[in-house]
Amino acid sequence: MNQLIAKNVNVWYGDNHAIQDVSMVIEPFQVTALIGPSGCGKSTFLRLFNRMNDYIDNFRMEGEILINETNIYDPSVNTESLRKKVGMVFQKPNPFPTSIYENVAFGMRIQGMNKKSELDEIVETSLKKAVLWDEVKDSLKKSAFSLSGGQQQRLCIARTLAVEPEVILMDEPASALDPISTSKLENLIFELKKSYTIVIVTHNMQQAGRISDQTAFFFMGKLIEYDSTKKMFLKPEHLQTQNYITGRFG
Amino acid sequence: MNNSTKNRLTDKAFQYFGIFNTFLGLIMLAVFIFVILQVGLQRLDWDFLTSLPSRFPEKAGIYTALIGTFWMLLLTIIFSVTLGVSAGIYLEEYAKKGWFSKLLEINISNLVGVPSVIYGILGLAFFNRYLGLGGSLLAGSLTLSLLIIPVIIMTTRESLKAVPKTIKEGAYALGATRWQTIWKQLLPAASGSIVTGVILALARAIGEAAPLIVVGALVYVPFIPHTPMDDYTLLPIQIFNWTSRPQPEFQVNASAGIIVLLFLTFLLNGISIYLRNKWQKKVKW
């Protein structure tokens, strides 16, 4: 597993210059937090890594995003295989309207795997990795909507893990969860970084401080500062960063 | 009288006006059904359902019309669902959103409002004459399909639109192709309301007489159709024919026919309501 590299990335939505000349290197097997006020471009930036912006009208991008030394915006790149390598967890838990089992199995099924024994095994290991197995092992046939919000979000993580990604992108994954679910999720993220590279967008400064190794501060489409989380929180170089982290604006 | 008393009076007046109108509609319907049942039930028996048409009212039955209606339903389902649903999927999921798709959208919503007899004339010119299908079931069902395809397209689009965008994103994020996302997530999630819409459209279609008179549904068909190329008659046509006869016995037949047609329509509506409720219980976003 290698670094994720953004090289001179610019993004426009129509006339809106949403990301302005951002370059950064994201280290493997670490949690990198993207912080900044609403509309600063951090979510847009996150969604560049699995090309989720491609479906947005008027989206235009320049620059390179390198994953395993391949520019993922090269026309030869297959978006579907990219997204198997780079999974994503969304802001609001978005389980499919099917059973818990089928939610986790979906990623395998679309790759043509339909053997029950193999699926059973992957569903179980994925749910275990997402620390949800014990809570749902007797109700795998139940609708995913019968779970609580926090469980649904862990189900979405299990679903992502089932396709064996290398990178997991998380877009404010705890913003719709209560404090207890949030702390479970944070513990899970801490576990996951042993095996996956994690990039997380968060509005919660304490959360960024607790779980991330690196923090990047975005403001109005620009990457203002990017450093180890410790340094960012204790001795940031830029006044803007300090003001934002200490809650003086944003 | 001050302002607030005046407002309260207006409010009360409107309330009673609303109640009156609600009951007016219901009472009219109830009276209509009562009269039909009173006249028609005496004639409605198994023989009536299984007898061929006849010029003797007591011998005449709706067998050919009933079988014709079932044939028509079946063929119309096949054509309208295939064409309507796929067009809806294309417009919602594939077509680039721009002035062209706007134009298509406006035209399709306008087609919903076109009087059915116009479709009949189109069917006569194109299916009967140009394609040489004559007054066959095939020509009739294609015409009826034309009539309800715009409704099905709109239903399909609305149902797909109602599936949260996050479901689509979730599927894409796992590496699903557009095809897989549509077939394995969006359509199953939308199918409940698509089916409901399709059934409601069909319920309307089986009551249509106007376009089918134009495209050649026959008033007197002494046999049941065996292939889509056969001549046919339908319940509304048969009813229409009986009501225009001078003998009072035929009026009784017409009432009995109306009961059967109403039953079919209510049955279809009932199925759609059942499916909708069942679906709403299962999925909540």
What's A28's domain CATH number? 3.40.50.300
Q: What is the pLDDT of residues B49-106, one digit of tens each?
A: 877 877 777 778 888 888 888 999 999 999 999 999 999 999 999 888 788 888 998 9
Report yes or no: B155 and B201 within 8 Å, Cβ to Cβ.
yes
Number of domains in chain B: 2
What are the chain A neighbours of B166 within 8 Å (beta carbons)? Answer: 90, 92, 94
Q: Does A177 contact chain B (CB < 8 Å)?
A: no
Q: Is the domain of B114 the same as that of B98?
A: yes
Q: Note whether B81 and B23 are same-domain residues.
A: no
ipTM of the complex: 0.91
* Residue B77 and residue B8 share a domain: no
In DSSP terms, A31 is beta-bridged to A198
Name the residue type at position B189. Answer: A
Mutation site, A96, A102, A170, A171, interface B, largest B CB count within 10 A: A96
- Residue A227 is predicted with a pLDDT of 93
Report the alpha-carbon distance of residue A54 to residue B275 in Å, rounded: 36
Question: How far is the C-alpha of A19 from the C-alpha of A41, rounded, in Å?
Answer: 6
User: What confidence tier does B280 reach under pLDDT thresholds 50, 70, 90?
Assistant: low
Q: How far is CA A167 from CA A26, A215, B89, B177, in A?
A: 11, 17, 33, 20
Q: How far is CA A86 from CA A4, A66, A150, B145, in A?
A: 11, 12, 22, 45
pLDDT in the model for residue B81: 94
Percent of chain B exceeding pLDDT 90 equals 37
Q: What is each CA distance from B164 to A13, A219, A232, in whole angstroms?
A: 22, 30, 37
Interchain contact A142–B (C-beta under 8 A): no
The confidence score (pLDDT) of residue B211 equals: 85
- Mark yes or no for CB contact B176/A96 under 8 Å: no
* Residue A219, strand partner residues: A222
pLDDT given for residue A215 in this prediction: 94
Residue B38 has pLDDT above 80, yes or no: yes
Q: Do B171 and B230 fall into the same domain?
A: yes
Q: Are residues B169 and A90, on separate chains, in Cβ contact within 8 Å?
A: yes
Q: Residue B99 is part of which domain span? A: 48-282
Q: Which residues pair with A167 in a beta bridge?
A: A86, A197
Whether B281 has a pLDDT exceeding 70, the answer reads no
B116 lies in the same domain as B237: yes
Q: Are residues B71 and B15 in the same domain?
A: no
pLDDT digits (tens, 9 = 90+) for B108-147: 989 988 888 899 999 899 998 898 888 888 999 999 999 9
* Whether B20 and B89 share a structural domain: no
Q: Which two tokens stand for residue B11?
A: 């409010």
A175 touches chain B (CB under 8 A): no
- Shortest distance, CA A82 to any CA of chain B (angstroms): 7
Phi, psi of B54 (to 5 degrees): -155, 160
pLDDT in tens, chain A (250 residues): 578 999 999 999 988 999 999 999 999 999 999 999 988 899 999 999 999 998 888 899 999 999 988 999 999 999 999 999 999 999 999 999 999 999 999 999 999 888 999 999 999 999 999 999 999 999 999 999 999 999 999 999 999 999 999 999 999 999 888 899 899 899 999 999 999 999 999 988 889 999 999 999 999 999 999 999 999 999 999 888 988 988 877 5
The reply to whether A150 falls in a domain is: yes
A250 in any annotated domain: no
Residue A70 lies in a domain: yes
Confidence bin at B40 (pLDDT 50/70/90): confident
Q: What is the pLDDT of residue B216?
A: 76
Cβ distance of B172 and A83 shorter than 8 Å:
yes
The H or E element that residue B249 is part of is helix B248-282
Is residue A209 domain-resident? yes
If one counts the domains in chain A, the total is 1
- The residues with which A195 forms a beta bridge, in sequence order, are none
SS (H, E, C) A156-175: HHHHHHHCCCCEEEEECCCC
Kindly list the residues from chain A whose CB atom is less than 8 angstroms away from the CB atom of residue B182.
none
Q: How far apart are CA A152 and CA A175, in angstroms?
A: 13
Give B276 or A122, the one with higher predicted confidence. A122
A87: contact with B, CB 8 A cutoff: yes
For strands A214-219 and A197-201, give the pairing: unpaired
Exposure class string for A170-201: b at 16+ Cβ within 10 A, else e: bbbbbebbeeebbebbbebbeebbeebbbbbb
For residue A220, is it left (φ>0), alpha (ψ between -120 and 50) or beta? left
* A179 lies in some domain: yes
Are both B116 and B9 inside the same structural domain?
no
pLDDT confidence of residue A28:
92
Same domain, B226 and B127: yes
> E strand or H helix at A199, and its extent?
strand A197-201
Describe the crossing of helices B187-206 and B137-162 by its angle, rounded to 10 degrees: 140
Determine the Cα angle at B106 with ends B100 and B110, to 5°: 145
**Is the CB of A110 less than 8 angstroms away from the CB of B174?**
yes
Q: Are residues B29 and B105 in the same domain?
A: no
pLDDT (0 to 100) of residue A250: 56
Looking at residue B283, its pLDDT comes to 60
Q: Both B20 and B84 in a single domain?
A: no
| Range of the structural domain that residue A17 is part of | 4-245
Examine the pLDDT at B284 and tell me if it is beyond 60.
no
Nearest to A107 among B167, B174, B282 (CB): B174
Q: Tell me: do B225 and B126 sit in the same domain.
A: yes
pLDDT at B77: 93
Contact A107/B at CB under 8 A: yes
- Token digits of residue B137: 């079931």
pLDDT given at position B134: 81
Q: Which of A151-165, A171-185, B191-205, B208-222 has the highest mean pLDDT?
A: A151-165
